[in-house]
Chains A and B, each alone.
Chain A
Amino acid sequence: MRADVVLAGVGGQGVLTIARLLAEAAANDGFHVVQGELHGMSQRGGAVQAHFRLSDQPIESPQVPRGRADLLVGFEPLETLRNIAWLAPGGRIVTAIRPIENMPGYPPIEQVLAELRRFPEAILIDAHATALAAGSQRAENFVIAGAAFSLLPLTPGKLRAIVRKRAERWTEREGEAAIKALAAGRAAIGGAEPVHG
């Protein structure tokens, strides 16, 4: 049992936080885990990428090789597209659809989404609207996390437990919104089968 995941988004979206929480959930579930990321320049509103590998066997490379990701998790549609080379044949995509246009030459969003829809297994989620409905637009990353988590071969509830523990440091409202957003993300996936490498 193994799964290779690449997460992509824009600095400030909480991509690294979610990568870390997913890794903690998988480790808590007894898996070997490697989760890699880059800090520094990427935090200034630039492109951010994180890697997360889980396996019941020891893991070698610190990074998911290009062409090997079972799951590509996108927090922003253009960033999802930027990382498409990581996706394995038959790999799954879960992506938010709201563009973050903090750069010159952002293509028309319809074109970006059309490109993503070429992948039959892509799941496009209006994470922004879902997060608002859950009580906080800042919980957008937790909607995506909930969706991504339900596609991983992990025990249901593990991520929620990790987030609950983490939420002890947040305001009550933030914590509640995050938990609600996780559930909303899970619901957005429906009954899709988990990925496995």
Chain B
Amino acid sequence: MTTTTRPAAGSAADLMLGDDAVALGALHAGISNAYAYPGTPSTEIFARLIREAAAGSAVIAHWCTNEKSAFEGAIGASLAGRRALVTMKHVGLNVAMDPFVNAALVGLGGGIVLAVADDPGMHSSQNEQDSRCLADFARVPCFEPATAQEAYDLTREAFVVSERLQVPVLVRLVTRLCHERSMVRTAPPEPPKPLHKAGPRQDWVLLPANARRLWGELLALQDEMRLANEASAHNRRTDGAGRRGVLTTGIGRRYFGEVLPEMTARPPHLHIGTFPLPKDLVRAFAADLDSMLVLEDGYPYVERQLPGLVPSRCKILGRESGALPAAGELNVVNVRAAFGLPALQLHESVLLNVPARPPRLCDGCVHRDSYAAMQQVIADLGIGAITGDIGCYTLGALPPYEAIDSCVCMGASIGMAKGASDAGLRPAVAVIGDSTFLHSGIPPLIDAIGHDTDMTVLILDNETTAMTGGQPTALPTSRLMPVVLGLGVDPAHVHLFSAHPRKVQELAALIKQEIAHAGLSVIVVQRECVQAARQRKKHES
């Protein structure tokens, strides 16, 4: 089982994150364009690309307003014959699903690789959806690296496959791989593709007549995709003793590798690194088995495809069967248990319980002022619905503020406040950050404008995408107010408030005043993020 690489003199090997490896894999594949919206744990892919661009790489790397816009940028680059990388976290793909699914139909020119970082265990996400299912849904290949080295190699290979099949290829990462530093050996880079407009037009205009033909062509490609995987070096069978087999995908292989030395004999093993599932390989592997344990991080994606592929006497064990927990990450503890290995003795604190240390808003954070004001408003007016959104300010749900009722998905605060107000739950207040507002808050705000909904929107503007480490927002603060006014909110009920800890009373009064207005109001509460300010001052000195 190949895992880590030892540093060797003279080779181009470096210690890097799995995220860095994806960035370098794409750069060395000759990408011309890269687009992304930040999201943990994918953000560092793009951070690396931006550093490489600043250091002289001829790549255009732009943070975008949202993942849909990012993916569409890549389709445009492909139309120009250029290779493009798109990166996002798993829930970002929900936002980008429309262009992603339909890009599979058009006649791509340059390759498109979509690197998606899933977050099993929800370390910093609202769900643990498995992007392999979404690649399947779009009927495109999905590569699942197990190591940072594979992340580099598979990202490069994904561009070749994307161009050969003229479909986007999804590289599926998980948190532990994204944020794992290990040695990666790189290979000489390829030059960028020349500008060459892809055609013909009937392969790009998805009118029903064209789309029906292209959909037929995509379906006809499915077998070719699978056959390539039957022969792929990333899908490897290792013989072993006994009739209880192990199937691993991606990082699952490494937990198997970790517990293998403790097993009395090496079981037969099949590793899958590329999808669609090489069914013949699985069938042949399962032919003599009595059981098959499936180790996959995420949904039981492979496990669910096994009935019908494996002989009926072969028992399928995995996250769906209950042999492994259905939720959360794979780890050495649950994999040991699945193999029936004894649990390790663990030390514990005996004298005292260790209380939690939850993340909190930074000292001096502008959101503290907003939530202190909201607490006063809640105390005075009572709670109707205070819908929250995704960012640092989601921490306002926790003590000491406990000032928001919901956090669902990017931009949901505004649409939900409208629905709650329509339904009679008032006062309805939406709390959303500047970057999240630009990402997905504008369309629902237009809906609220259209109906002059009785609600108040607080845009907490800290001038950055703070939660993910301070990426620039798509529009600077100075242009946020013109956007809100330009959409058509009544100027009498649009306010820009420069926040200060001494002005909490004043802010509370303003919020109460606008809640009293029986229509739509927008208050932009503005002050620079303390972390961003620190970074900026460091740069300036």
Contact = CB atoms under 8 A, between A and B. Distances in A.
Interface of A: 10-11, 20, 23-24, 27-28, 30-47, 58-63, 65-68, 78-79, 81-82, 84-85, 87, 89, 102-107, 111-112, 114-115, 118-119
A28 B181 contact: no
Nearest to A105: B355
30 contacts: A10-B357, A35-B181, A36-B179, A38-B124, A39-B41, A39-B43, A40-B123, A42-B359, A43-B359, A44-B392, A44-B395, A45-B357, A45-B359, A47-B356, A59-B4, A60-B254, A61-B258, A62-B254, A63-B331, A65-B258, A65-B333, A66-B332, A67-B347, A68-B344, A78-B354, A102-B360, A103-B355, A103-B358, A115-B349, A115-B351
B357 A20 contact: no
Contacts of B362: 44-45
Contact of B359 (A46, A61, A84): A46
Contacts of A20: 181
A15 B72 CA distance: 38
B264 interface: no
Given A38-B123, A62-B176, A30 B7 contact: yes
Contacts of B254: 60-62
B359 A58 contact: no
B257 interface: yes
Given A35-B180, A111-B352, A27 B7 contact: yes
B349 A33 contact: no
B7 A28 contact: yes
A30 B3 CA distance: 16
Contacts of A44: 359-362, 392, 395
A81 B353 CA distance: 10
B257 A37 contact: no
Nearest to A114: B351
Interface centre among B40, B256, B346 (most CB of A within 10 A): B346
A58 B360 contact: no
Interface string B251-265: 100111110100000
Given A27-B183, A62-B251, A79 B357 contact: yes
B95 interface: no
Contact of B40 (A40, A106, A111): A40
A67 B345 contact: yes
A60 B176 CA distance: 12
Interface of B: 1-7, 15, 40-41, 43-44, 123-124, 175-177, 179-183, 251, 254-258, 260, 331-333, 336, 344-352, 354-362, 392, 395, 399, 467-469
Nearest to A72: B347
Contacts of A33: 4, 7, 15, 181-183
Contacts of B360: 44-46, 102-103
Contact of B179 (A11, A39, A46): A39
Contacts of A23: 15, 181
A66 B6 contact: no
A148 to B, nearest CB: 17
Q: Which 4 A-B pairs have the closest CB atoms?
A: A40-B124, A60-B257, A67-B344, A46-B359
B357 A27 contact: no
A103 B356 contact: yes
Contact of A11 (B251, B359, B361): B359
Contacts of A24: 15
Contact of B123 (A10, A41, A107): A41
A39 B3 contact: no
Contact of B332 (A37, A45, A61): A61
